[in-house]
A and B are shown apart, each in its own frame.
Chain A
Amino acid sequence: MRRSPRVGVWLPPLAPSIFLLGLFVAGPILWCFYASFTNSALSGIAARRPKFVGLDNFTTAFTSPDVAASLWLTVVFVVLSAVVGQNSLGMLLAVFLQHRGKLLRGIVGTVVVAAWVLPEVVAAFAIYAFLNAQGTLNEVLGWFGLSQNWLYTAPMMAVVLANIWRGTAFSMLVYQAALSEVPSDLVEAAQVDGAGPVRRFWHVVLPVIRRTVVTNLMLITLQTLGVFGLIYVLTAGGPDNKTRTLPLLMYEQAFKFGQIGYGTAIALVLLVLGAVFSLVYIRSLKAEV
C-alpha cells in the first residue's frame, strides 16, 4: 500500500477550494440544519427573534400528507424524467448518431443541445408556449379535434416532458463521449461471431460503459431532484398541487407562507432523498458483474 502524502503537501493547493466549499456549500447546509430546529420566519416577530422549537418542524413534516404527497411526486418526476427519459433518450441518440455523417450529427446535436443551453426560465416559457391552451401543440392537435389544456389535464406529464426535452442533451453528450471510447475491435469481434446490433450493444458496449451510465444517472438524478424553475413557470406546482415536488413545496412553505424554519426542514428531507439515490448508484457501481 502506498503511503499517503503528508498534509503539508496536499493541503496548500486544495485550501482555496476547501475554503470556498466550506463557505458556500457546507455553510448553507449547516445554517439550514440549524434553522430547521427553529421557527424562523420571513416576517413577523419570528423573523427578528426565532425560537428553538426542537423537532417540531420534523414532526410536522413527517406527519404531513403534503410532504408525503410531494415526496412521491418527486420520486415519480425523477424516475420518469431523468432515469427513464433523459437517460434512455440520451443513450438512444448517442447510439443512433454514432458513425453517422458529420452533417447529421451536427444538426441533431445542435437541436438537442439548444434546449440545454437555454436559461431555465427561457426554456420553461418555450415549453409553456408549446403546451398551453392556445399553444403550438393544440394548434396542431386542433386539426384532429384533440386539443386540450395539457398543463391542466396532464400536468405531471407536461413537466416530465419538459425536463426530458431540456436535459437529454447532457446524457447524449456523456454517452457520445463514452461510446467513442469503446474499443472497436471488441465490437467487430462480436460482429464476426454473428451478434446482431442489439446483442452487440447489450453484451459488449453496455458493460464497457457501465461506469459512465451510473455516473450519468447520479448526475442527472441530482440535477432533476433540484428542478424548480421549470416546474414553477409551467404549473407553479398546480393544478391542485399535482406537480408540487419537494423543491416547490419547500419554496411555498419558506417564501410564500414565510415559514423559513419549516421550509429548511423540508430542504433537509430533499437532501436525504438525494443521498439515498446517490447511495443506490454508488452501491451498484461497486458491485461487479
Chain B
Amino acid sequence: MRARTIAAGLAVAALTLPLAACGGGDSAGDARTIKIVYRNYSDFPQMDTFMKDVKKQFESANPGITAQLTPVSSLDSDYLAKVQLMQRSPSTAPDVLFEDSFNVNADAAAGYLLPIDDYLTKWSDWNSQFIPATKQAGKATDGKTYAVPMGTDTRGLWFNKDIFQKAGLPTDWQPKTWNDVLDAARKIKATQPGVQPMYLPLGKPAAEAMSMQTLEMLLYGTPTKDLYDEKAGKWVAPSKGFEDALGYVQTVMKENLAQTPAQAEDTQWAQTQMPLLMSQGKIGFMMDGGWYARYWNAGGVAPWPDWTKTLGTAKFPTQNGQAPGNVTLSGGWTLAVGASSGNPDASMKFIQTALNKENSAAIDVACSWLPVRDDVKADPRLAEKDPTVPFWSSLVSFTRYRPTLQEYPQVSNAMDVAGDSVVNGGDPAKAAAQFAQDVSKAVGADKVKTG
C-alpha cells in the first residue's frame, strides 16, 4: 500500500509538475479564476445544482472571470478535514468555500479565512436584509466577520403520527421531560415489534451530528446547561449534565429503543438507510434537525410524497421539564473567502450573487434551511415545499449556539469519543471522566471548570 502510494505520488507529480510550471490555471493566486469548494455527495446533491446555477449568473455578470467549481465528494464528517488540508497550501486553497459555522473560528485563527468586514459594510443587503442574530455565524472571537450565512437550522423531534396512533400516543405529541420521550419509545416498542422506536445520531460515523444533535441537545437541557461558561471563560468538564446525557444514551441503547450499535457504527446507514426506514414507517420518531424534508422531497435520498401528512413535529424537552421547558440548538452553513485568494473582490462578488434574495431563497428551499434574510423569510415557496418551516422557525426564539471558539471542534471530538464508548456498552461515568480529561488536554487545565 505504501509503496503503491509513493509510486502513484511520483507518477502524479511527474504528470503535474510540467503543468504547474506553465503557471497552472487553478491555483488560488490566479486573479482570473476563482475556485469554489463545496460538498457534493449522494445524500446532498442540492449544493451542486445550486452552485452550477450561481456560476452561470456570476460569469455572465463578470465577463473574463471564471468560477471554477471544485466539489468535494465526501460524507459530511470527512468534508472538514479535506477542506482544511486544501487550505494548508496556497496552491490548493479555495477562493470561496462552503463552511460549517462551527468551524469559522478555528479556521480564522489558523489564518485560512479572509476578514470581509470592508466588503460587508458596503453591501446594502448585508446592512438591510440579513437578520442580525444570524450574522453571528460568521463572526469570530476577534470581532471580525469571516463568513456570510446561507441558512440556519433548529433541532427537535419528528414523529410518525400513524405509529403514535397505534401505540396509543397523542398525535399532537409534546413531551415535557426526557422520561416522556423515553416512555413514548417504550410504548412503541411494546405495541409494534417491527418498528424501531426512535432514532438519534449516535456512533463514530455520526461525528459532529452526535455531539450537537444528541449530546449537546441533552446537555443543554440539564441543570448544568452549558458546555462553555461564557462569564468564567471556561469549558464545563466534568459536569453532572454531561454524565446524565450519556446516561440517557445508555438507557436508549440498553432498552433497545433506538438503532442497534451495529447500525450506529455503520458508515453509510444514517445517511441512506435511516431516511428510507423513516419513510417506510419503520421508525417511530427521530431527534434531529429540521432540514430532513430535503431527504423526503422529490430528488432526495428517500422520496416520500406523504411525509407532510404522516409526520408531526415537537420540541425537545429539558431533562425534568425545568425552565425554559424546551431546548434547541442552531447551526448553519456559510460561504467564506479564502485568505490566499488571488481575487478577493471577485470571490466576494460570487458570494454576493450566491446569497442575493433570489438565490438565498432557492438554497434555503432546496436544503430545507431556515432563512437568514428578512426578505426571504416571507417567500411562500419555503412553507409550500416544507410545511414544517414555521414550526422550526418558531424555535429560533429560544435557540442556543455552539461555543464559537477555536477549541470547539476538538471538544466536540472528545464528546464523540465519550458518546461512542457508551453506544458500545461503556460506562457513562467512566466515559464522562475520560471526556473531562480529553477536554482539559485540548484547551488547557486552567480553562476548565466543574459543573
Q: Are the CB atoms of A20 and B205 closer together than 8 Å?
A: no
Q: Are the CB atoms of A43 and B1 closer together than 8 Å?
A: no
Contacts of A149 in B (CB 8 A): 260, 262
Give the distance to chain A from B205, nearest Cβ to Cβ, in Å: 6
Contacts of B88 in A (CB 8 A): 42, 47
CB within 8 Å of A: which B97-111 residues: 103, 106-107, 109-111
Q: Does A240 contact B (CB under 8 A)?
A: yes
Contacts of B77 in A (CB 8 A): 256
CB within 8 Å of A: which B167-206 residues: 203-205
**Cα separation A267 to B203 with both chains bound (whole Å):** 25
Known contacts A44-B406, A258-B410: A235-B265 contact under CB 8 Å: yes
Known contacts A225-B2, A226-B1, A239-B424: A43-B109 contact under CB 8 Å: yes
Known contacts A24-B9, A235-B265: A43-B420 contact under CB 8 Å: no
CB within 8 Å of B: which A218-236 residues: 219, 222-228, 233, 235-236
* Closest residue of B by beta carbon distance from A270: B2
Contacts of A6 in B (CB 8 A): none
Q: Are the CB atoms of B6 and A24 closer together than 8 Å?
A: yes
Interface of B is mostly: helix
Q: Does A237 contact B (CB under 8 A)?
A: yes
Q: Are the CB atoms of B109 and A151 closer together than 8 Å?
A: no
Give the distance to chain A from B433, nearest Cβ to Cβ, in Å: 14
* Closest residue of B by beta carbon distance from A230: B1
Q: Does B407 contact A (CB under 8 A)?
A: yes
Q: Does B409 contact A (CB under 8 A)?
A: yes
Q: Are the CB atoms of A236 and B84 closer together than 8 Å?
A: no
- The size class of the interface chain A forms with chain B is 35 or more
Contacts of A235 in B (CB 8 A): 265, 267
Contacts of B3 in A (CB 8 A): 219, 222-223
**Cα separation A47 to B10 with both chains bound (whole Å):** 27
Scan A114-152; emit 1 where CB is below 8 A from any B CB, else 0: 000000100000000000110000000000000001011
Give the distance to chain A from B317, nearest Cβ to Cβ, in Å: 30
* Closest residue of B by beta carbon distance from A254: B81
Q: Are the CB atoms of A236 and B410 closer together than 8 Å?
A: no
**Cα separation A255 to B74 with both chains bound (whole Å):** 14
Q: Does B112 contact A (CB under 8 A)?
A: yes
Contacts of B421 in A (CB 8 A): 240
Contacts of B112 in A (CB 8 A): 43, 47
**Cα separation A274 to B410 with both chains bound (whole Å):** 30
* Closest residue of B by beta carbon distance from A17: B10
Q: Does A257 contact B (CB under 8 A)?
A: yes
Q: Does B298 contact A (CB under 8 A)?
A: no
Name the one of B204, B263, B265, B413 contacting A257, with C-beta atoms under 8 angstroms. B413
* Closest residue of B by beta carbon distance from A66: B417
Give the distance to chain B from A69, nearest Cβ to Cβ, in Å: 13
Q: Does A1 contact B (CB under 8 A)?
A: no
Contacts of B247 in A (CB 8 A): none
Number of interface residues of B (CB under 8 A): 42
Q: Does B13 contact A (CB under 8 A)?
A: yes
**Cα separation A258 to B207 with both chains bound (whole Å):** 14
Q: Are the CB atoms of B409 and A240 closer together than 8 Å?
A: no
Give the distance to chain B from A156, nearest Cβ to Cβ, in Å: 14
Q: Are the CB atoms of B262 and A43 closer together than 8 Å?
A: no
Contacts of B6 in A (CB 8 A): 24-25
Q: Does A109 contact B (CB under 8 A)?
A: no
Q: Are the CB atoms of A45 and B1 closer together than 8 Å?
A: no
Give the distance to chain A from B227, nearest Cβ to Cβ, in Å: 17
Q: Are the CB atoms of A45 and B109 closer together than 8 Å?
A: yes
CB within 8 Å of B: which A149-173 residues: 149, 151-153
Q: Are the CB atoms of A228 and B1 closer together than 8 Å?
A: yes
Q: Are the CB atoms of A24 and B2 closer together than 8 Å?
A: no
Give the distance to chain A from B258, nearest Cβ to Cβ, in Å: 15
Contacts of B4 in A (CB 8 A): 223
Q: Are the CB atoms of A43 and B409 closer together than 8 Å?
A: yes
Scan B202-220; emit 1 where CB is below 8 A from any A CB, else 0: 0111010000000000000
Q: Are the CB atoms of A43 and B2 closer together than 8 Å?
A: no
Q: Does A3 contact B (CB under 8 A)?
A: no
Give the distance to chain A from B145, nearest Cβ to Cβ, in Å: 18
Q: Are the CB atoms of A258 and B409 closer together than 8 Å?
A: yes
**Cα separation A120 to B5 with both chains bound (whole Å):** 11
Q: Are the CB atoms of B110 and A256 closer together than 8 Å?
A: no
Give the distance to chain A from B83, nearest Cβ to Cβ, in Å: 10
Q: Are the CB atoms of B85 and A255 closer together than 8 Å?
A: yes
Give the distance to chain A from B294, nearest Cβ to Cβ, in Å: 25
Q: Does B223 contact A (CB under 8 A)?
A: no
Contacts of A99 in B (CB 8 A): none
Contacts of B109 in A (CB 8 A): 43-45, 47-48
Known contacts A45-B406, A233-B267, A240-B420: A227-B1 contact under CB 8 Å: yes
Q: Are the CB atoms of A223 and B81 closer together than 8 Å?
A: no
**Cα separation A163 to B1 with both chains bound (whole Å):** 11
Contacts of A233 in B (CB 8 A): 267
**Cα separation A252 to B424 with both chains bound (whole Å):** 18
Scan B56-100; emit 1 where CB is below 8 A from any A CB, else 0: 000000000000000000000100010011001000000000000
Q: Are the CB atoms of A240 and B424 closer together than 8 Å?
A: yes
**Cα separation A47 to B421 with both chains bound (whole Å):** 29
Q: Are the CB atoms of A256 and B1 closer together than 8 Å?
A: no
Q: Are the CB atoms of A236 and B205 closer together than 8 Å?
A: yes
Give the distance to chain B from A77, nearest Cβ to Cβ, in Å: 12
Give the distance to chain A from B93, nearest Cβ to Cβ, in Å: 12
Q: Are the CB atoms of B84 and A258 closer together than 8 Å?
A: yes
Name the one of A44, A151, A226 contacting B110, with C-beta atoms under 8 angstroms. A44
Q: Does B321 contact A (CB under 8 A)?
A: no
Give the distance to chain A from B74, nearest Cβ to Cβ, in Å: 12
Q: Does B117 contact A (CB under 8 A)?
A: no
Scan B245-268; emit 1 where CB is below 8 A from any A CB, else 0: 000000000000000111101110
Q: Are the CB atoms of B1 and A224 closer together than 8 Å?
A: yes
A sample of 10 cross-chain residue pairs with beta-carbon separation below 8 angstroms, ordered by A number, consists of: A24-B6, A44-B407, A152-B265, A225-B2, A227-B1, A238-B204, A239-B261, A256-B77, A256-B207, A258-B84
A-B pairs, top 9 by smallest CB distance, nearest first, are: A152-B262, A240-B424, A47-B110, A226-B1, A255-B81, A239-B265, A43-B106, A226-B2, A238-B265
5 further contact pairs, Cβ within 8 A, besides A43-B110, A44-B110, A258-B106 = A47-B88, A47-B112, A133-B266, A236-B204, A255-B85
- Identify the A interface with B (CB < 8 A): 20, 24-25, 41-48, 120, 132-133, 149, 151-153, 219, 222-228, 233, 235-240, 255-258
